[in-house]
Structure 1
């Protein structure tokens, strides 16, 4: 055992020596002396050897190293992590193909596993999960000290299998329990509607997948003559950065859209708008809420900073950091936070979010408690026979089929945020100078 341990520690020393040699060029940048770096690495070597020798259970050296890496990355921030063979494979499945899941995006807020947003028309959405819900348990397993990767791994599974989430929700006296059946997650990322009696376009973007920009271009080409656009990014958890940048570029003709700034200055980057890609300059309103995160915050914040759109709704989630996947061999990888996003004005999104120009909380449009008014049939001499005749005709008339591509006045009055957006964009279209 002693000989094995000495050989192991010798390997560690060799590994650390190689690491030290590769990282000496950072000493000048960080101000860390070689002596202090060697001292820290010697401490780490000693801890590894002590754990291997004295820990109560038999644990392999490879497991010790893996746990060390996991501990390091999980303590950096909520979004960094170590992807072992299984997690790395799962990530590829999520990126490249279909998978069984709930259709829910989660993040860490104040140390608690929190729902950023349920994705529209997925099992989580249909079950009634909401942005801001805190996940207390997944099946019978507590989420206390659980990483995001572990939580996602538990929630993902074979389609048509059940999972039980225990949720803490603001305003509820006790935890809520949701039994949800996993399904193949297919997302319709972009769709459009028009409004009853209004020449306005409703552009709904549910997530930023690889098709967002092309689908938006198609939608705008079909509705060139509209007087205004309402872009709905509520409960949009984000996605691909290039899609967020290129979507904004359709509406902004010049200037910075978003900046990426990190510790390594050579990796800093500004993403800018181009006049040749701008499609329309009609008045716009962007809808955001607490479920809007990452890419949707970039779009809303950039359009707000450029005075290109009025932002309406609620403060966003505040996820403005950049993660990259750095392979470690062929089957493992690091997911590491390397930078933060900054909006054109220089403000950060991370842990701050985007505050709307006009804050509107969700709900119905307030209506009078009674719609009482004097009508013909309240008069003594009302035409009873005519009313009966009219009722019979209405009963016989075929029912009109609901047009799913049009938002009716009734639907509009059921969403005060959307109604506010319509009113604002109408004012903007009236006051906008005509060219």
Structure 2
């Protein structure tokens, strides 16, 4: 064994240095430290044996990278080693700029599982859904494939193709999807008036400018008309930046705790509170969620629910309530490490539980009714030939397309209809109270 020691010594120096950096922020007992050093020496010796005896010459860097990936893979689905390329892609993603098919994924019970598709992306257009299982990517089985490795395979240049095999509950066998990669939309916020004085807003994910874009959308709506009620749609929103979840929640709250985090070390125990003065802090609010609402989306929904600031409508959320800290490494790579859990203002853990809606409304797929309004006698004045135009009819013509789109959306989306009906009721009740 003496012939292996020069290699072992070099590797041990590297590993001991890495371990010492973690010991600076973690309380490790002397007994545990000695045990770790002993195990690291075993690793170094195994590496040396491979360098001298493996049938082909090995790349030490690749071996160590693989060992680190394996180390993190044994912890939880969200901790990962990010090679320089992957680390750069993660930074681009939080800035809202990357090319792929537009899904958030995780490892659930050892299986590559979709958290949520992002609206307006190839994945959403193909009707991929939360909890779908990705069985293969370009013919390669995903069993024991890490989330970061899968993300790397799913991403690629705009216009390139990727083939995935997907299993869904109720399907007798997996189905194949051939998707063309595209630039994932930079704009994470959409808004319009869904009814007079009632606004619909949608946040598709939480990027670095989400809250500022959301406030801008509100100001643009207020230029069109008064906002007396809001719908915030967080369905199929896989999450994103914690800071943006906190600041968006703050938009609707004037005081109180928004979210807290609890970890092993004192610096991981943090609390985030609301501030006075946000423009949307008083209007009636409905928040739409579903099984594809995760992480940052759950923070927002949980905070607004706990403060009784909003009525949460939809289905149980995904339950991704852990905090990932990104630690850059000198090589240009990075570690994504789970360091804490999220807790709502009323002390409830989000992890693996999710947010339970106040009004549970399962999504029902739309089936177009095969009726003829003319034959059934449902004819309006505007349907009659040569009818006299109303004073506002010509002005309304320019917005007819949008109105029809909204009507179609409401016909097809039973959860949105429920949210709008509740919001109308709240608005009507508020007007009655004002009259009194």
Q: TM-score normalised to the size of structure 1? A: 0.86
Query: Does the aligned pair in 1 maintain the 2:206–2:245 contact within 8 Å?
Result: yes
- The residue that corresponds to 2:273 in the other structure is 272
- 1:375–1:124 Cα change, 3 Å: closer
Q: TM-score normalised to the size of structure 2? A: 0.85
- The residue that corresponds to 1:215 in the other structure is 213
- 1:376–1:127 Cα change, 3 Å: closer
- The residue that corresponds to 1:383 in the other structure is none
Q: Post-superposition shift, 1:260?
A: 1.6
Gaps of 5+ in 2: 388-392
1: CA distance, partners of 2:320 / 2:98: 24
Secondary structure at the counterpart of residue 159 of structure 2 = coil
Secondary structure at the counterpart of residue 336 of structure 2 = strand
2: CA distance, partners of 1:98 / 1:69: 28
Most deviating of 293-302 and 222-231? 222-231
- The residue that corresponds to 1:87 in the other structure is 86
Q: Post-superposition shift, 1:201?
A: 1.0
Q: What's the CA shift string for 1:339-371, capped at 9, x where partnerless? A: 121111111112221111111111268999989
- The residue that corresponds to 2:69 in the other structure is 70
Q: Post-superposition shift, 1:43?
A: 3.6
Is 1:341 matched up with 2:342?
yes
Is 1:167 matched up with 2:166?
yes
Q: Post-superposition shift, 1:281?
A: 1.0
Secondary structure at the counterpart of residue 77 of structure 2 = coil
Q: Post-superposition shift, 1:176?
A: 1.3
Is 1:126 matched up with 2:125?
yes
- The residue that corresponds to 2:390 in the other structure is none
Q: Post-superposition shift, 1:291?
A: 0.9
Larger radius of gyration: 1
Q: Post-superposition shift, 1:49?
A: 3.8
- The residue that corresponds to 1:313 in the other structure is 314
Q: CA RMSD in A?
A: 3.3
Summarize the alignment of residues 28-427 of structure 1 with structure 2, pairs less than 5 Å apart. 32-95=31-94, 98-196=97-195, 198-221=196-219, 222-223=221-222, 225-277=226-278, 279-363=280-364, 392-393=385-386, 400=397, 402-404=400-402, 408-427=406-425
2: CA distance, partners of 1:131 / 1:17: 42
Q: Post-superposition shift, 1:165?
A: 1.2
Number of aligned positions between the proteins = 421
2: CA distance, partners of 1:33 / 1:411: 59
2: CA distance, partners of 1:294 / 1:414: 27
Query: Does the aligned pair in 1 maintain the 2:96–2:186 contact within 8 Å?
Result: no
Q: What's the CA shift string for 1:274-318, capped at 9, x where partnerless? A: 113353311111000011111111101110111111101011111
Secondary structure at the counterpart of residue 250 of structure 1 = helix
- 1:60–1:370 Cα change, 3 Å: closer
Q: Post-superposition shift, 1:184?
A: 1.9
Most deviating of 210-219 and 313-322? 210-219
Query: Does the aligned pair in 1 maintain the 2:95–2:208 contact within 8 Å?
Result: no
Q: Post-superposition shift, 1:12?
A: 2.8
1: CA distance, partners of 2:191 / 2:155: 30
- 1:176–1:206 Cα change, 3 Å: same
1: CA distance, partners of 2:340 / 2:232: 28
